[in-house]
Amino acid sequence: MNKRIVLLISLVAATVLLAGCTEFNEPISGNSEGFWNEFIVWPLVSVITYFKGLLGTYGLGIIAVTIIIRLVLLPLMVKQTRSSKRMQEVQPKLKELQAKYKSKDAVTQQKYQQEMMALFQENGVNPMAGCLPVLIQMPILIGFYHAISRMNSTPSIDLGSFLIFPLAEPSIILAVIAGLMQFIVLRTGPAMDNPQMKIMMYFMPVMIIGFGVVLPSALTLYWVIGNIISLIQNLVIYKPWEKKEPVPAAPAAGARKEVKQPVKTKAKAGGAKK
Mean pLDDT of 189-214: 76
Q: What is the pLDDT of residue 242?
A: 67
Q: Which pLDDT band, with edges at 50, 70 and 90, does 192 fall under?
A: low
Q: Which pLDDT band, with edges at 50, 70 and 90, does 181 fall under?
A: very high
Q: Do 156 and 92 meet the contact criterion of CB atoms below 8 Å apart?
A: no
Mean pLDDT of 171-200: 79
Q: Cα 160–161–163 angle (5° rounding)?
A: 160
Backbone angles phi, psi at 162, to 5 degrees: -120, 115
Q: How far apart are CA 128 and CA 198, in angstroms?
A: 18
Which amino acid is residue 32, in one-letter code? S
Q: Do 83 and 125 meet the contact criterion of CB atoms below 8 Å apart?
A: yes
Q: How far apart are CA 146 and CA 52, in angstroms?
A: 18
pLDDT tens digits, 129-176: 556 666 666 777 778 778 887 887 787 788 888 988 998 889 999 999
**Which residues have C-beta within 8 Å of that of residue 271, sequence separation ≥ 6?**
none
Q: What is the pLDDT of residue 243?
A: 53
Q: What is the pLDDT of residue 9?
A: 53
> Nearest-CA neighbor of 151 among 52, 68, 16?
52
Average pLDDT, the chain: 74
Q: Do 133 and 75 meet the contact criterion of CB atoms below 8 Å apart?
A: no
pLDDT tens digits, 77-125: 777 777 777 777 777 888 888 788 777 777 787 888 888 888 877 877 7
Give the least confident one: 43-57, 145-159, 206-220, 247-261.
247-261
Burial 97-106 (b: 16+ CB within 10 A, else e): beeebeeeee
Give the least confident one: 8-22, 142-156, 216-230, 233-247.
8-22
Give the helix ranges, DSSP H, for the chain: 3-19, 35-36, 42-55, 58-89, 91-100, 106-122, 131-152, 172-187, 198-212, 217-238
| CA distances for 160 relative to 11, 53, 99, 169, 266, angstroms | 31, 13, 59, 10, 93
Q: Which pLDDT band, with edges at 50, 70 and 90, does 250 fall under?
A: very low
Q: How far apart are CA 228 and CA 181, in angstroms?
A: 7
Q: What is the pLDDT of residue 101?
A: 77
Mean pLDDT of 190-214: 76
Instruction: Please check the confidence at residue 44 and state whether its pLDDT lies above 80.
Output: yes
Q: Alpha-carbon dihedral of residues 223, 225, 227, 233, nearest 10 degrees?
A: -150
Q: Tell me the β-bridge partners of 166.
A: 161
Mean pLDDT of 171-190: 88
SS3 at position 241: coil
